[in-house]
């Protein structure tokens, strides 16, 4: 298997990955972002854990097929993650988007009951507002904010131009703001 270079976080230098023994480097670098993306898309933590594990199993099996000349590693990795989530829903027979109201688990440090009520109400309002967006808008926002990908990476994954991704994000956020303001009035 040939070596592939992964960019160092915060630098343009590359990290060499020469085989399956280096999957730990990939896992350490990208686990949290992949998990966040998957968690954004599925309703419960257990499913997110299972799907994230499946993503890294697939990455391990396909690491030798990654070709740096065809695109950046992150786009390749998140395409695998997106396909794993889509396959999961296909297997369940679900074709609709799940709302974010199930994704809002609290950290271990419990907020006060008043803060929890305000947070829950905000999540419910956001989940209702997200339902007003179309599938492409939700997918792009999930990749942007759930996976932390940039417009260039999203554009490569979705077959869009980088500026089109920016427009979709801008318009989707504008729709969300208007929807949330409308609810407050």
> Domain with 77 in it: what CATH number?
1.10.1740.10
> Domain with 134 in it: what CATH number?
1.10.10.10
Residue 101 or 174, more confident: 174
On whether both 61 and 121 belong to a single domain, the answer is: no
On whether both 81 and 160 belong to a single domain, the answer is: no
Instruction: Count how many domains the chain has.
Output: 2
CB atoms within 10 A of CB 35: 21
Distance of CA 102 to the CA centre of its chain: 15
* pLDDT surpassing 80 at residue 147: yes
* CA–CA gap between residue 23 and residue 6 (Å, rounded): 11
User: What pLDDT does 184 receive?
Assistant: 55
pTM equals 0.53
Q: Helices 73-92 and 151-158 meet at what angle, rounded to 10?
A: 50
Q: What single string gives the DSSP state of each residue in 65-105? A: G--GGGS-HHHHHHHHHHHHHHHHHHHHT--SPPPGGGT-P
Q: How confident is the model at residue 89 (pLDDT cuts 50, 70, 90)?
A: confident
What value does the mean pLDDT of the chain take?
Answer: 79
Q: What single string gives the DSSP state of each residue in 120-166? A: HHHHHHHHHHHTTS-HHHHHHHIIIIIS---HHHHHHHHT--HHHHH
User: What pLDDT does 123 receive?
Assistant: 79
Domain containing residue 124: 111-185
On whether both 76 and 130 belong to a single domain, the answer is: no
Q: What's the pLDDT tens digit per position in 38-75?
A: 988 887 889 999 999 999 999 888 887 877 788 788 88
On whether both 68 and 19 belong to a single domain, the answer is: yes
For the record, the structure tokens of 86 come out as 């889509």
* CA–CA gap between residue 124 and residue 93 (Å, rounded): 25
Structural domain contains residue 68: yes
User: What pLDDT does 99 receive?
Assistant: 55
User: What pLDDT does 20 receive?
Assistant: 63
Q: How confident is the model at residue 154 (pLDDT cuts 50, 70, 90)?
A: very high
* CA–CA gap between residue 164 and residue 146 (Å, rounded): 19
Average pLDDT over residues 144-166: 90
* pLDDT surpassing 70 at residue 88: yes
User: What pLDDT does 15 receive?
Assistant: 47
């Amino acid at each position: 298997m040939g070596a592939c270079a992964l960019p160092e976080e915060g630098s343009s230098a590359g990290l060499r990955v020469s085989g399956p023994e280096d999957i730990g480097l990939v896992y350490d670098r990208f686990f949290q972002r992949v998990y966040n993306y998957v968690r954004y898309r599925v309703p419960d933590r257990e499913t997110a854990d299972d799907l994230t594990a499946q993503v890294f199993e697939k990455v391990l099996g396909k690491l030798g097929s990654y070709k740096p000349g065809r695109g950046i590693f992150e786009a390749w990795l998140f395409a695998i993650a997106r396909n794993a989530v889509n396959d999961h829903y296909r297997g369940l027979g679900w074709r609709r988007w799940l709302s974010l109201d199930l994704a809002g688990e609290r950290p271990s440090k419990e907020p006060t009951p008043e803060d929890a009520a305000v947070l829950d109400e905000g999540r419910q309002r956001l989940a209702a507002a997200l339902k007003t967006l179309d599938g492409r808008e939700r997918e792009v926002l999930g990749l942007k904010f759930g996976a932390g990908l940039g417009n260039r990476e999203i554009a490569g994954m979705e077959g869009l131009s980088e500026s089109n991704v920016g427009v979709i994000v801008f318009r989707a956020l504008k729709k969300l703001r208007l929807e949330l303001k409308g609810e407050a009035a």
